[in-house]
Structures are given as structure tokens and as C-alpha cells.
Structure 1
Amino acid sequence: MLPTWLHRMKSSDYTTAVQATPKLYPRLFFPYAITLILATLLAWWIAITLLTNTLERRLEDQ
């Protein structure tokens, strides 16, 4: 079933919307992918830093 806004569109508008859709995917995907990669790297760096500090502190306490 088509969304209601598609029923109200003229066929030429629908064709334009369909042709514009492939351009939309990279515009949405690349910023999301870059943000996801940066967030993952930041979380990894924080986890490694905390683990390293904890292990160094334990070694000093012995």
C-alpha cells in the first residue's frame, strides 16, 4: 500500500522523487557511517585508557 502523499502526487512528481532517491542514500549513509566509526573509535580509546590506568595502578600497589 502506498503512502497517502504518493496518491496526491502527479506522475511527473513521482518520477522526479524516484530519480532523486538514489542520491539521498549516500547523503544519509556517509555521515551516519563516519559518526558511527568515530564513536566506536572513541569508545575503544576510552576503554583501553581506563584498562591501562587500572592495570598500572594495580602493578604499583603490589
Structure 2
Amino acid sequence: MKSIEPLPFWTKAGLAFPILFLNGWLFIIVVEYFQSLITVGIISTLLAFVLSYFVELLTR
């Protein structure tokens, strides 16, 4: 049984660029779909972080 030789560099590069492009495109689509949910999550996290200092001061 013959061993499989590694692919040449130009083949690896030729396969890597379309895969990276498609992954980036899919990531953008998913982020756009969940944009409102991500925005609400980020704002609520920042608000909780800022308000935790005030709550700590009031509990002293």
C-alpha cells in the first residue's frame, strides 16, 4: 500500500483561502442575525458592571 504524499503548498493555499472566506461570511451572517440579542447582552453586562460599584457602596 502506497503512502499518501502531502499536498503541495499551492494546493493548501488554494483550499485555505475559500474556506477562510466562507467562514468569515458565515460569521457575519450569524452576527447580523443575532445582532439585537448580542447588543442587549453587551449593554446589560456593562450596566451590571457599572452598577455593582454603586450597590457595593450602598451596602457598606
**Greater share of helix residues, 1 or 2?**
1
TM range (shorter): 0.3 to 0.5
TM-score scaled by length of structure 1: 0.44
